[in-house]
Structure 1
Amino acid sequence: MSTNNALPKRAEIDSGFKWKLEDIYSDISSWEQDFKKVKELAEQIKGCQGRLGESAEKLLECFQKSDELLSLNDKVFVYARMKRDEDNGNPTYQALTDRASSLVTEVYASVSFIVPEMLGIPEDTLLSYAEANKDLSVYLFSIKESLRQKEHILSEKEEQILAMSAEIADTAGDVFTMFNNADIKFPYIRNEEGEEVEVTKGRYVAFLESKDRRVRKDAFEAVYSSYKKMRNTLAASLTGNVKKNRFYSLVRKYPSALAASLDNDNISVDVYTTLIETVNKNLPLLDRYLKLRKKVLKLDELHMYDLYVPMVEEFDKKIPYEEAKTLVIEALKPLGEEYTSFLKKGMEASWIDVYENEGKTSGAYAWGSYKTHPYVLLNYQGMINDVFTLAHEMGHALHSYYTNMTQPYVYSEYKIFVAEVASTVNESLLMRYLLPRASGKQEKAYLLNHYLEEFRGTVFRQVMFAEFEKAIHEKVEQGEALNAQELSDMYLALNRKYFGEAVTVDEDIAMEWSRIPHFYSSFYVYKYATGFSAATAIAEKILTEGKPAVDKYIQFLKSGGSNYPLELLKTAGVDLSSPQPVQDALKVFEKTLDELEELLK
């Protein structure tokens, strides 16, 4: 068997397409110095314990020491983890990541006394401290947020125990990560040219977009047969994560894991359930789109492996990475000169790790720490999806960049609820840029298809994921058992519900739950749908209102976590406490579908 198409080793990738983690630490020795310093700071902060109520100055001192400790700890962890992400099979960085993870547990245990001890100070006294001391007033929103959650915060000793348990609690996710990125191997299949090519997670996307249906089917079966071999282990891992969430919600006196998760954003469970209900009411639109796909592809049966191939088969365009950068820069010019200058800086200053290599973490993300510029991990394959991914991840990166330039450390971490807004605004603007510049009917139809796929993947699909997460957590909370068969049956039933009569729902899709990393960041995925809806509205305002809308949006990017997510979005003109933005987004889906149906008559 030929192995000419095996993934390259990390060392074989040109340095111009790798991120420059030397901007964080020049070498492991420098990392070790900060690792040691974090330990020292974690020990020093214990001197604040028992003294927070002495004065406003003492409380401020403790907050500032905590910020110094946590921000340096973030930097240490981010470096180790991103080095491991370059090649998950590298034992040096496996070890560094393990040590950094243990350090995180130690650090959070060392500061776990702060909130419960602060809440022991009479509320009037605490607020008077913050109002009287200018430097301490910076922390006023954070203090008020702790007061809001007071009933769910435990004693100092209990909080310390919970902080110490974090490393153990993350075991299920760690096991999945190592299996999914380092251990799992997929078989070779024949590509369109008949060559034997190894299936990888990065190539899988390209295979599903192949015009050759045999390639799509072979890749689909190759992936799911590989996960199915480990179904019992993967079921135990996912169930362990669900039980972890149940444990923490019970300990913190929440009625459910879902309620506990949403309360971090000060969002009611109604927002989550209303999202699911709104999308469920609009499932006939998804069915209509899938029937169009079946008709255009001229298939007797539309299978799950037919859902990603472009409906306009004649239009095929590979986009080199350099061209992708130019397209993204041009598309985002409506966001102003400052934004595009930061965008160019990130693209040219080695923020981005571009190509797939053996052992590299799959997918894409933007990350970094308060003490570093942002970084972006890609696995660029030259497809149109990859161009949108570049725009998406740079949206995340510049959201962090603006926030870190503007906010103190305490508000530098914006909530995940708003995290997908900046990324999706970029995608929306890129789509609006490309559509009128389409070279003809075929390219325009291709782009309309892509836009509909964004809706399908980011609204319909993520809400299906959210419904699955809600269901499996409710099973555990009701004392019922979860196993591989139960998880697969539930997941298959949801696929049949969402994809309706238009699709022949292949049995293999029942195993998809086993390969979704976001299920280990529980109740995360619904935020893709709400974020997409908000972004659709914001992009429309930017293009129609110009500078006033841009100014509001940039202010949103600068705000970080300085207010509740729903309030921050209101400053940009979107109210997600109502189902209206989601319904409006689905009206855009319907309008786009109308346009594609007319074009493909």
Structure 2
Amino acid sequence: MAEQTTRTLPKRSEIADEYKWALEDMYPNDQVWEEDARQAKEWIEKIRTYKGTLGSSGKRLLEVLQLQDDIHRIVQKLYVYAHMRRDEDTANPHYQALSDRSSSLSVTASEASSYIVPEILSLDAETLNRFINEEEGLELYRFQLEEITRQREHFLSPAEEQILAQAGEIAHGPQTVFGMLNNADITFPTIRDENGQEVELTKGNFIHFLESRDRRVRKDAYNALYSSYRKHKNTLAALFHASVKKDVFYARVRKYNSALEASLDVDNIPTEVYDNLIATIHEHLPLMYRYVSLRKKVLGIDDLHFYDLYVPIVQEVDIKVPYEKAKELVAEGLKPLGEEYIKILKEGFSSKWIDVYENQGKRSGAYSWGAYDVHPYVLLNYQETLDNAFTLAHEMGHAIHSYYTNKNQPFTYADYTIFVAEVASTVNESLLIDYMLKKTTDPREKLYLLNHYLEQFRGTVFRQTMFAEFEKITHEKVEAGEALTPEQLCAIYRELNEKYYGPELVLDENIEIEWARIPHFYNAFYVYKYATGFSAATSLATQILEEGQPAVERYLGFLKAGSSDYSINLLKKAGVDMTTPQPIRDALGKFKQLLDELEQLIG
């Protein structure tokens, strides 16, 4: 018998340079980072000297707003670089320290400028308008100033704002500790792959194993991952409880009725949008039950488990997508967005915007990030699957959104809100799947793609809404004075899975611990935006395909707008009204159409 070897992740140094992002475009070396850090500290000390003087003149107000932008701009760059270097290898102590320093600098900058908003709020509307009219440069800040005064009742006195700013680093504690536990400390056992070879389980290859044709492999990977989190359930529950209590504390201090209201008010989104999403999904859960039942039928199994939800239901089709092929596929699929968009996309591919492959210690998952003064970056942990090809399209949607807004907006308005952040990424996915469905002539491949598209709906609309409901329930319990024990969190999560997936899915014991591994729960009330963003994107992609250039122009205008207007208004201009449940209903109508087509093809 041939000797079996265990496959492990490569070290960072073993990854070819062409597949690593070029962070040197941000800082050529750490010494230049240190020089900027010194500059940032000087500016932070300077901005303290303006305290108590903003009401003296429009000129004084303009000076402090410009200096605040300079500080935010340089601190953003310092922070992004340090954290992205850390993400390359989360066990690297040098970049752990550098990221900690950048976090402290960010908190210090917030504390030093914490007087600005209270002093602006101390000005009456007449004085503020006079300043804007008299001092030409203040016109740029008109929308920002109006946004500050909109939230007037939720700001505190200068002294209280300073205390809250100083507490910022402590408040990030639960998220920071979870990140270290989740990315650096937690370990997973090896499992046997389809060939009987021992392979190290990682968060990066977990979904790949869940897509395996071999049910034993799927089950082993599923149980290995979740049993590892279960061993830490008490620590993870304590961290999550602390994070929720932090959210509730800040909401109450700022005089909001709930943590949900406080979170949504940042984007000027009414809580009805959140509640409408959950209610509308509840109305359409029978569609999910139909899909689960169909999956059980096609797989030909008596009991459908959670680890059976990711395997493609078309057994004969095996679509392997190497990274180079994925780039070509994405470029073809996004052609409806026009030549300019494709040119930017290819620039990102060829100019090392992307960190492609998994390595030891690398942060899990995928994201797009960057700073105003440099091109965007994308982190991947690429596996050769169709899902990962869509991840590439998704993250490049974020990146090109950032590219457009940075090129077309001043720094003040270059950072688009989280509410619209998932729209551009999901438009890319919608266009890519449409291209592939139209291109294929193989009925089996079409079945595969239809199933993949339905899985996007399941994961992005249904599952993220379930996450959103979990966040709502847990925050409401803490607001009511209840504690969140590991047992209670598991019970809540189990009941939600039962509600969302229906009677045909066997609820394994391990599914109840899934809440413990979701990083987004430490950025509360974020995940609902995946579902609303997917719905908006489904509508926009349809308009682009049906209308052509006029819809493309509206869409590119949206990408260029940054935060120069409220998110709801920007989407309305692009062609979608998210103040109503209609976009959610339209998206679920698309889900039904795809499900009908899949059922007909299967027969």
TM-score norm. by structure 2 comes to: 0.99
Map of 2:480 onto structure 1: 478
Map of 1:283 onto structure 2: 285
Map of 2:565 onto structure 1: 563
Map of 1:74 onto structure 2: 76
Residue number among 8, 22, 27 corresponding to 1:20 in the alignment: 22
Q: What code does the residue aligned with 2:384 have?
A: G
Q: Deviations over 1:313-371 (max 9, x none)?
A: 11002111111001111111111111111111011100000000010000000000112
Determine if contact 2:55/2:61 at 8 Å carries over to the other structure. Answer: yes
Report whether the alignment pairs 1:126 with 2:122: no
Shift of 1:507: 1.3
Shift of 1:134: 3.0
Map of 2:362 onto structure 1: 360
Residue number among 57, 60, 63 corresponding to 1:61 in the alignment: 63
Map of 1:593 onto structure 2: 595
Report whether the alignment pairs 1:398 with 2:415: no
Residue number among 513, 531, 534 corresponding to 2:533 in the alignment: 531
Between stretches 125-134 and 104-113, larger displacement belongs to 125-134
Q: Deviations over 1:29-62 (max 9, x none)?
A: 1111111111111001112211111211111111
Residue number among 226, 246, 249 corresponding to 1:247 in the alignment: 249
Map of 2:195 onto structure 1: 193
Map of 2:438 onto structure 1: 436
Shift of 1:500: 0.6
Q: What code does the residue aligned with 2:329 have?
A: L
- Specify the SS of the correspondent of 1:376: strand
Q: Deviations over 1:216-244 (max 9, x none)?
A: 00000000100000000000000000000
Query: For 1:337 and 1:56, how far apart are their aligned partners in 2?
Result: 44
Query: For 1:201 and 1:251, how far apart are their aligned partners in 2?
Result: 37
- Specify the SS of the correspondent of 2:331: helix
Determine if contact 1:368/1:375 at 8 Å carries over to the other structure. Answer: yes
Q: What code does the residue aligned with 2:257 have?
A: P
Shift of 1:175: 0.6
Residue number among 176, 179, 201 corresponding to 1:177 in the alignment: 179
Shift of 1:173: 0.3
Query: For 2:404 and 2:376, how far apart are their aligned partners in 1?
Result: 10
Determine if contact 1:541/1:549 at 8 Å carries over to the other structure. Answer: yes
Q: Which aligned pairs between 1:427-466 and structure 2 lie closer than 5 A?
A: 427-466=429-468
Query: For 1:131 and 1:400, how far apart are their aligned partners in 2?
Result: 31
Query: For 1:92 and 1:5, how far apart are their aligned partners in 2?
Result: 28
Query: For 1:3 and 1:572, how far apart are their aligned partners in 2?
Result: 54
Determine if contact 2:5/2:197 at 8 Å carries over to the other structure. Answer: no
Q: What code does the residue aligned with 1:417 have?
A: F
Determine if contact 1:224/1:508 at 8 Å carries over to the other structure. Answer: yes
Shift of 1:552: 0.6
Determine if contact 1:201/1:362 at 8 Å carries over to the other structure. Answer: yes
- Specify the SS of the correspondent of 1:48: coil
Query: For 2:558 and 2:95, how far apart are their aligned partners in 1?
Result: 36
Query: For 1:528 and 1:131, how far apart are their aligned partners in 2?
Result: 40
Map of 1:320 onto structure 2: 322
Report whether the alignment pairs 1:408 with 2:410: yes
Query: For 1:158 and 1:192, how far apart are their aligned partners in 2?
Result: 60
Determine if contact 1:18/1:352 at 8 Å carries over to the other structure. Answer: yes
Q: What code does the residue aligned with 2:92 have?
A: N
Map of 1:10 onto structure 2: 12
Determine if contact 1:258/1:523 at 8 Å carries over to the other structure. Answer: yes
Determine if contact 2:6/2:200 at 8 Å carries over to the other structure. Answer: no
Shift of 1:135: 1.8
Map of 1:216 onto structure 2: 218
Query: For 2:118 and 2:572, how far apart are their aligned partners in 1?
Result: 31
Report whether the alignment pairs 1:335 with 2:337: yes
Between stretches 112-121 and 576-585, larger displacement belongs to 112-121
Query: For 2:42 and 2:321, how far apart are their aligned partners in 1?
Result: 49
Determine if contact 1:278/1:582 at 8 Å carries over to the other structure. Answer: yes
- Specify the SS of the correspondent of 1:16: helix
Determine if contact 2:366/2:380 at 8 Å carries over to the other structure. Answer: yes
Map of 1:89 onto structure 2: 91
Query: For 2:48 and 2:235, how far apart are their aligned partners in 1?
Result: 41
Change in 2 beyond 3 A, CA 1:151/1:302: same
Residue number among 41, 46, 49 corresponding to 2:48 in the alignment: 46
Q: Deviations over 1:405-445 (max 9, x none)?
A: 11111111111000000000000000111001124011100
- Specify the SS of the correspondent of 1:381: coil
Q: Deviations over 1:466-505 (max 9, x none)?
A: 0000000000000011111110010001001111111111
Residue number among 268, 271, 276 corresponding to 2:270 in the alignment: 268
Query: For 2:177 and 2:216, how far apart are their aligned partners in 1?
Result: 33
Map of 2:39 onto structure 1: 37
Shift of 1:570: 0.3
Determine if contact 1:87/1:360 at 8 Å carries over to the other structure. Answer: yes
User: What is the identity percentage for the equivalent residue pairs of Structure 1 and Structure 2?
Assistant: 58
Q: What code does the residue aligned with 1:292 have?
A: L
Query: For 1:119 and 1:408, how far apart are their aligned partners in 2?
Result: 24
- Specify the SS of the correspondent of 1:371: coil
Residue number among 377, 381, 384 corresponding to 1:382 in the alignment: 384
Shift of 1:133: 3.0
Q: Which aligned pairs between 1:289-304 and structure 2 lie closer than 5 A?
A: 289-304=291-306
Query: For 1:132 and 1:497, how far apart are their aligned partners in 2?
Result: 59
Query: For 1:258 and 1:4, how far apart are their aligned partners in 2?
Result: 47
Q: What code does the residue aligned with 1:514 have?
A: A
Report whether the alignment pairs 1:238 with 2:240: yes
Q: What code does the residue aligned with 2:344 have?
A: F
Runs of 4+ in 1 over 4 A off after TM superposition: none
Determine if contact 1:556/1:569 at 8 Å carries over to the other structure. Answer: yes
Determine if contact 1:72/1:371 at 8 Å carries over to the other structure. Answer: no
Q: Deviations over 1:50-90 (max 9, x none)?
A: 11112111111111100001000000000000000000001
Q: What code does the residue aligned with 2:174 have?
A: A
Determine if contact 2:6/2:197 at 8 Å carries over to the other structure. Answer: no
Between stretches 122-131 and 224-233, larger displacement belongs to 122-131
Shift of 1:455: 0.3
Map of 1:110 onto structure 2: 112
Shift of 1:95: 0.6
Change in 2 beyond 3 A, CA 1:48/1:331: same
Map of 1:512 onto structure 2: 514
Shift of 1:2: 5.7
Change in 2 beyond 3 A, CA 1:3/1:246: farther
Shift of 1:118: 1.0
Query: For 2:222 and 2:4, how far apart are their aligned partners in 1?
Result: 21
Change in 2 beyond 3 A, CA 1:2/1:73: farther
Q: What code does the residue aligned with 1:312 have?
A: V
Q: What code does the residue aligned with 1:291 have?
A: S
Between stretches 591-600 and 118-127, larger displacement belongs to 118-127
Query: For 2:455 and 2:218, how far apart are their aligned partners in 1?
Result: 17
Determine if contact 2:104/2:169 at 8 Å carries over to the other structure. Answer: yes
Query: For 2:29 and 2:52, how far apart are their aligned partners in 1?
Result: 39
TM-score norm. by structure 1 comes to: 0.99
Between stretches 267-276 and 417-426, larger displacement belongs to 267-276
Query: For 1:215 and 1:426, how far apart are their aligned partners in 2?
Result: 32
Report whether the alignment pairs 1:152 with 2:154: yes
Determine if contact 2:193/2:199 at 8 Å carries over to the other structure. Answer: yes
Q: What code does the residue aligned with 1:22 have?
A: E
- Specify the SS of the correspondent of 1:316: coil
Q: Deviations over 1:185-212 (max 9, x none)?
A: 1000000011000000011010000000
Query: For 2:51 and 2:461, how far apart are their aligned partners in 1?
Result: 46
- Specify the SS of the correspondent of 2:199: strand
In structure 1, stretches of 5+ residues that fail to align are: none
Determine if contact 1:154/1:252 at 8 Å carries over to the other structure. Answer: yes
Query: For 2:69 and 2:96, how far apart are their aligned partners in 1?
Result: 27
Q: What code does the residue aligned with 1:550 have?
A: V
**How many residue pairs get matched?**
601
